[in-house]
Chains A and B, each alone.
Chain A
Amino acid sequence: MGTKIEDVTKDSGYKFGWNDPDFKAVNEPVKGLSKDVVLGISELKDEPAWMRDFRLKAYNHWLERPMPTGFWGGNIQNYDLDFDDIYYYVKPVAEQGKTWDDVPAEIKRTFDKLGIPEAERKFLSGVEAQYDSEVVYHNIREDLKKQGVIFMDTDSALREHPDLFREYFGTIIPPNDNKFASLNSAVWSGGSFIYVPKGVKVEMPLQAYFRINTENMGQFERTLIIADEGSDIHYVEGCTAPTYSSDSLHSAVVEIIVKKGAHVRYTTIQNWSDNVFNLVTKRMAVYGEAVGEWVDGNLGSKLTMKYPSTYLLEPGAHGEILSLAMAGPGQHQDAGGKCIHAAPYTTSVINSKSVSKGSGRTSYRGQLKVYPGAKGVKATVRCDALLLDEESRSDTYPLMDIDEQHVTIGHEASVSKLGEDQLFYLMSRGMDEAEAAKMIVNGFVEPIVKELPMEYAVELNRLIELQMEGSVG
């Protein structure tokens, strides 16, 4: 009711696909990657020599490493992504805004449309907004600032907190970790830097929003979160991009340190347009009695390759990965997670849910590793896939590498098709087929969605419904 068939067919279900035609970068972006481009970025940012050298070293790794064709990857080599046709640095503003009024009108309009300033007023401890290559706005509540919480873009942190920055930057994900970590390390720009002092508990989430605007954009934000002993932080990131006929690239690196007794939750609601390659490396180091959690929602993009990892390094550390993937026609969500148990009495849970429709493909790719001597480890992996039709596809690649006997490991996997009997049951109660299918899908992903703060749960359900539009019948 109310929805006309034209609305559904015209609209692919993606409602963030607009762009800002008035936008003009303040630098003169060039396509392609070279040593000069890398040096140019460093120079423009007026970086210390160590960072320039770090970038150059990473650039050499990028050149040396082949495209991943092994276990970790969603067959990127089968796509014709042209790295020479990408802008590696697009500077949106001369200076970051301290208030939303400082942000250029056309950029602010974008974030208004995305509901960011409103969310900031209502339920966030702080917000950061990145547009193409740079953060255009960030703010954190005064009381948190007074308690010593640092939340700013990563470039500013390098300038304002150089020692803290250098102590941790690149320590969790070294620049030669994988091809795309090398790429990010060479050309990184923007991202969030967070430090939460000992014992400080940040009750409401900090949120970052990453928006791509320019066609053929490469966005390479770099995030570093340090949760000191006994602290508590929930960080949420969202991302969208305009729909273009040519490819864009998003390749982030996220490093997180969760010290003794601390708790970090990192929530992602990735909703890139379906021309974006999303190739991201995310890793957490979790120390004694600390808890590190990834809540990873992947709805958009052309190809996502992302396996958030949790390294449990001291006894009592607990890791949790909740992964949700939805792949529509032409999309491949190659997602999952890794839990590495490097200390005794560490525990972890991986729970993955994926939904495929049309020619969409989801893959669960995961690793569970237990080092020798890590006795008393308890770990469970559960992955469920739901296929909405005959064309959709799902695969499971669970890697288990257990080098210790005294451990408890559980693994369950299921693939189900949207059930005829479930549909019939709901339809016999008056719901049409599309509504019934939506209800079943929303129920299927509910165990993940219920982990989100209410506002995001509502938003995620809405996004899922948008993706479901026109998928049945």
Chain B
Amino acid sequence: MNNNGGSMASNNETLFRVEHLHVSVENTEILKGVDLVVNRGEVHALMGPNGSGKSTLANSIMGHPRYKVTQGKVLFNGNDVLPLTPDKRAQLGLFLAFQYPVGIPGVVMGNFMRAALKARRGEDVPVREFRKLLDETLDLLKMDPSFVRRYVNEGFSGGEKKRAEVLQMAMLKPEMAVLDETDSGLDIDALKIVAEGINALRGPDLGVLVITHYQRILDYITPDKVHVLFDGRIVKSGGPELVHELEERGYDWITNPEASGAGPEAVAAGKENA
């Protein structure tokens, strides 16, 4: 284990860059200028209280039609992906692990995975190779093989849903993965399994953005950088030590500096770092 240490793989090559992103949902602006850079090989954590815009950022990166980008860019390997439909983004190697994966009745996991892998690779995957990859990944995530015969996310427990998301990530081998509250709704055992799965995928080529409300998952996945999102902006960025600071002091010292006694300089400094 202990494959969770930070910075082991960063090579300072910019993989993913969000530039001054403004996003509205039903004419209400949720993101008000988000800037974020993830280098190849790095794991970033994005934290923030409820309603700060975390899931909006995740959905906008993947291109959900309900989230309207009004300004800004999302650059992936130097190219703006905002004009692309979600499928094209996925084919390029972007991945979103959903906070609430939607059920698709009647569609069997195995068939769905095979179609997804075909789309990602741009060619059919031989059955034997697919089976092997699937079995190995199921094993990694300690999932029962019968899982592949179930309908996509239908009747899954919270933990099963999250594991299924990580399973897809492991099989599709994205270059940049956004994990939207993959830790929420998991008991401690399931959390460990999911975290181990993600750690096993860490490497010099993968960028990861772990979005979370709690620091819990970050006990198992040590991020290279940590950002705090509040009211549609990143208000503070720092190293892994920021996680513990948040753990001790809560969000208030960043989001409401007057009340918690921290000076406004801290907020400004955070902005600059971002």
Which positions in A face B, CB cutoff 8 Å?
A: 419-422, 424-433, 435-436, 439-440, 442-447
Contacts and interface: CB of A to CB of B under 8 A. Distances in A.
Given A429-B115, A431-B115, A446-B105, 15 more contacts: A422-B102, A422-B104, A428-B86, A428-B90, A429-B87, A429-B112, A430-B90, A430-B116, A432-B85, A432-B87, A436-B87, A439-B107, A440-B107, A445-B106, A447-B106
A435 B115 contact: yes
A467 B8 CA distance: 52
Interface string B61-74: 01111100000000
A429 B119 contact: yes
Given A430-B120, A431-B116, A431-B119, A425 B101 contact: yes
B229 to A, nearest CB: 21
Contacts, number: 81
Contacts of B95: 428
Nearest to B66: A420
Contact of B90 (A421, A429, A435): A429
A426 B115 CA distance: 10
Contacts of A446: 105-107
Contact of B86 (A424, A439, A443, A447): A424
Interface in B105-146: 105-107, 112, 115-116, 118-120
B85 A443 contact: no
A307 to B, nearest CB: 25
A446 B118 CA distance: 22
A420 B65 CA distance: 8
A429 B116 contact: yes
B96 interface: yes
B102 A433 contact: no
A419 B119 contact: no
Contacts of A428: 62-63, 86-87, 89-90, 95-96, 98
B182 to A, nearest CB: 15
A424 B96 CA distance: 11
Nearest to B153: A425
Most chain B CB within 10 A, of A428, A430, A443, A446, is at: A430
Given A435-B115, A439-B112, A443-B151, A427 B86 contact: yes
A394 B119 CA distance: 33
B172 interface: yes
A444 B105 contact: yes
B39 interface: no
Contacts of B118: 430
B115 A439 contact: yes
Most chain B CB within 10 A, of A424, A432, A433, is at: A424
B4 interface: no
B168 interface: yes
B105 A425 contact: no
A430 B87 CA distance: 4
Interface residues of B, number: 30
Nearest to A439: B107
A429 B172 contact: yes
B169 to A, nearest CB: 10
Nearest to A436: B87
B91 interface: yes
B101 A433 contact: no
A440 B116 contact: no
Nearest to B95: A428
Interface string B40-67: 0000000000000000000000111110
Contacts of A420: 65-66
Nearest to B113: A429
A439 B90 contact: no
Interface string B216-244: 00000000000000000000000000000
13 contacts: A419-B102, A424-B63, A424-B64, A425-B102, A428-B86, A428-B90, A429-B112, A429-B172, A430-B91, A430-B119, A446-B106, A446-B107, A447-B106
Contacts of B106: 442-447
B63 to A, nearest CB: 8
A443 B104 contact: yes
A220 B66 CA distance: 51
B102 A421 contact: yes
A426 B91 CA distance: 12
Closest 7 CB pairs of A and B: A430-B119, A443-B106, A446-B106, A443-B107, A429-B116, A430-B90, A427-B86
B219 to A, nearest CB: 28
A422 B65 CA distance: 12
A447 B87 CA distance: 28
B2 to A, nearest CB: 32
A426 B89 CA distance: 12
A89 B229 CA distance: 76
B107 A442 contact: yes
A425 B119 contact: no
Nearest to A440: B104
Given A431-B87, A433-B87, A425 B98 contact: yes
Most chain B CB within 10 A, of A432, A433, A442, is at: A432
A400 to B, nearest CB: 26
B107 A427 contact: no
A432 B122 CA distance: 12
B130 to A, nearest CB: 15
B201 to A, nearest CB: 16
Interface in B140-162: 151-152
B172 A439 contact: no
Contacts of B87: 427-433, 436
A21 B62 CA distance: 53
A107 to B, nearest CB: 38
Nearest to A450: B106
A435 B111 CA distance: 13
A433 B172 contact: no
